[in-house]
Amino acid sequence: MNRALRRISLACLVMFVLLLANANYLQGFAANNLANKPGNSRTFSQQFQYQRGSIVTADNKTIAESRPVKGIYKYQRYYPDGTVYAPVTGYDSIYSATGIEQAEDRLLSGSDPALAVHNLVDMITGKPKKGARVQLTINSAAQQAAYDGLKAMGLQGGVVALDPRTGAVLALASYPSFDPNDLATFNGTQLIKVDKKLLADPNQPLRNKALDDTFPPGSTFKIVTSSTAFSSGKYTPTTRVFAPTSLTLPDTSNKLINFDGEGCNDGSNPTGNGKVPLIYAFTVSCNTVFGDLGMHLGGAALRSQAVKFGMNDPNLTIPLPVAQSNYPPVSTPAFTAYSAIGQYNDTVTPLQEAMFSAAIANNGTLMKPYMVQKVTAPDLASLVTANPTTLSQTVSPEVAANVKQLMISVVQSPAGTAHATADIGNLDIAGKTGTAQNGINNTGLDDAVFTGFAPASNPKIAVGVVVRGGGQGADASAPIAVKVIQAYLASLARQ
């Protein structure tokens, strides 16, 4: 029987060798593959086992941090002033993440290769792993003013403020907003409930209206039309242009009219069929003038100028992804006339509005917008520092100076559309209003749009504001822009 027993011993040995080999394969070789399976609860919960990096504003206000808690997870995300900063931070829930939480996840979580050496040192010295701290370009005063302004209107809308010299995003507000703390819960049932409620809200609080939603630019697009005109070399601000009270569009029975059907008359055009200086048409925002001008310049020229301002770019990230602002493909002259005054199929994000002003303010050079100023490792070593880059040279400095002159006139000349609401104190604002008609036959409420920068002599901030259904840009949007500018310039003065 011993021969059989020896063979059985061999069989037992084989069984144990198989078990050992399989365990080694599983825990040694297959470990990485398994760790990346989507259903792996351990990998998933791991992100709450150590401190995720904080997100802070440029002026060092903490807007997202991980606080120690009791339970399965050691840390929970907390957002001070969550509602104000929700479009910036986004949220980090147990199922998904948005905003900076998503865009900078690898650094915040500490899994970025840039942190590999730090993690190794921490592991050897026994220190718990920690994520990197992300400092944004957001200015807390500007952000608060932007959100408060939108909230006071009580309508859907977005505000973006840029530093025209660098492209740094100073404010990024969206209304209505949500409290990301509600989504940072570890209670799955509660989370699904909150998520369902937010998704069912007709005002779509989860949508970042500053970046994800597009609106018709309305008359603010006249900045692009003017830039195209000056760049053609045939126009200056004082060039007299055809200013009919009503412009019949070629090959259609449609007539383009001014706001409320008014004439475009600075005193030199009493017939309503003569000419006015371009700067006057811009200041009071005559649709007929710019419709006619657009047809003369041609759709192709307008479109190429719009692209230089950053439109039709589906790939812009700041690092949050930005919806594409759209200038439609070249069509008939009639459509070009509509496009030239920001109607028909033109759509822009509030960020794009800010970019129009920022480019003009920065002598025609459009800087690429960015939000992350600096990323520091837990040991304070700098991992990433923002390096402002040029997105495009939209117009020559001379043309930019001409457009700037037009925009100053809108705010600072008594006839200007924004004179009453934006010519406040000695802020020295330059801008352009827009009242975008909406809906079939303009039955919808007008969207209020404003874009501007200040101080006009030495621009430090450019703002784009869109309030959906806000009525006239001058009334609804310009005051919000003024408040943001005021708050930002005041905070600069304090520093």
Partner 1 sequence: MLVFVLVVVMFAYASVGLGLNGKVPAGMFTYGISFAVIVGAAHLAVRRLAPWSDPLMLPLAALLNGLGIVMIYRLQESGRAGNAGTKISTMSSSTTAFQVMWSAVGIVAFVVVLALVRQPRTLQRYTYTLGAIGLALVVIPAVLPASLSEINGAKVWITVGGFSIQPGEFAKLALAVFFAGYLVSKRDVLALAGRRVLGIDLPRARDLGPVLIAWGASLLVLVFETDIGTSALFFGLFVVMIYVATQRTSWLLIGVGLFVFGSLTASKLFNHVGARFKAWQDPYSAANVFCNPATQHHCVSSYQLAEGLYGMTFGGVLGRGLGQGQPYWTPLVQSDFIITAFGEELGVTGLMALLIIYGLIVQRGLRAAIAVRDPFSKLLAGGLAFVLALQVFVIVGGVTRLIPLTGITTPFLSQGGSSLVASWMLIALLMRISDTARRPAPQPIQDEGMTQVVRAG
Query: Binding residues for partner 1, per CB under 8 A?
Result: 1-6, 8-9, 11-13, 15-16, 18-20, 22-24, 26-28, 30-31, 34-35, 37, 39-43, 45, 70-72, 74
Contact indicator for 92, 79 with CB cutoff of 8 Å:
no
Contact indicator for 255, 248 with CB cutoff of 8 Å:
yes
> Which residues partner with 134 through β-bridges?
55, 375
Give the nearer residue to partner 1 in terms of CB position, either 11 or 300.
11
Q: How far is the CB of 102 from partner 1 (least distance, A)?
A: 23
456's tokens:
């006009």
Q: How far is the CB of 105 from partner 1 (least distance, A)?
A: 20
Q: How far is the CB of 20 from partner 1 (least distance, A)?
A: 6
Q: How far is the CB of 123 from partner 1 (least distance, A)?
A: 12
219 belongs to the catalytic site: yes
Q: What is the DSSP string of 70-85?
A: SSSSSEEEE-TTHHHH
Q: How far is the CB of 178 from partner 1 (least distance, A)?
A: 28
Cα gap 355→334, rounded to integer Å: 27
Give the nearer residue to partner 1 in terms of CB position, either 110 or 237.
110
Contact indicator for 153, 175 with CB cutoff of 8 Å:
yes
Cα gap 461→354, rounded to integer Å: 9
Residues 6 or more apart whose CB falls under 8 angstroms from that of 47 comprise 109
12's tokens:
């037992």
Residues 6 or more apart whose CB falls under 8 angstroms from that of 285 comprise 219, 222, 258, 259, 410, 417, 432, 433
CA angle 351/357/359 to nearest 5° reads 95
By DSSP bridging, strand 382-385 and strand 275-277 are unpaired
CA angle 145/149/155 to nearest 5° reads 145
Contact indicator for 225, 290 with CB cutoff of 8 Å:
yes
Give the nearer residue to partner 1 in terms of CB position, either 5 or 493.
5
Q: How far is the CB of 32 from partner 1 (least distance, A)?
A: 8
Q: How far is the CB of 21 from partner 1 (least distance, A)?
A: 9
Give the nearer residue to partner 1 in terms of CB position, either 41 or 253.
41
Contact indicator for 100, 55 with CB cutoff of 8 Å:
yes
Q: How far is the CB of 461 from partner 1 (least distance, A)?
A: 48
**Sign of the C-alpha dihedral computed for residues 270, 275, 277 and 282 taken in this order:** positive
155's tokens:
């309508």
Q: Of the residues 54, 109, 140, 219, which is catalytic?
A: 219
The Cα-based distances of 492 to 85, 170, 489 in angstroms read 20, 12, 5
Q: How far is the CB of 36 from partner 1 (least distance, A)?
A: 10
Cα gap 216→330, rounded to integer Å: 17
**Sign of the C-alpha dihedral computed for residues 134, 367, 219 and 330 taken in this order:** negative
Give the nearer residue to partner 1 in terms of CB position, either 66 or 486.
66
Using the CB atoms, write b or e for 114-141: b if 16+ within 10 Å.
bbeebbeebeeeeeebbbbbbbbbbbbb
- Tokens 């569009």 label which residue? 249
Cα gap 308→316, rounded to integer Å: 13
Give the nearer residue to partner 1 in terms of CB position, either 21 or 381.
21
Give the nearer residue to partner 1 in terms of CB position, either 130 or 404.
130
- Would you call 467 helix, strand, or coil by DSSP? strand
Give the nearer residue to partner 1 in terms of CB position, either 11 or 381.
11
Give the nearer residue to partner 1 in terms of CB position, either 37 or 494.
37
Say which amino acid occupies 456: A
Active site residues: 219
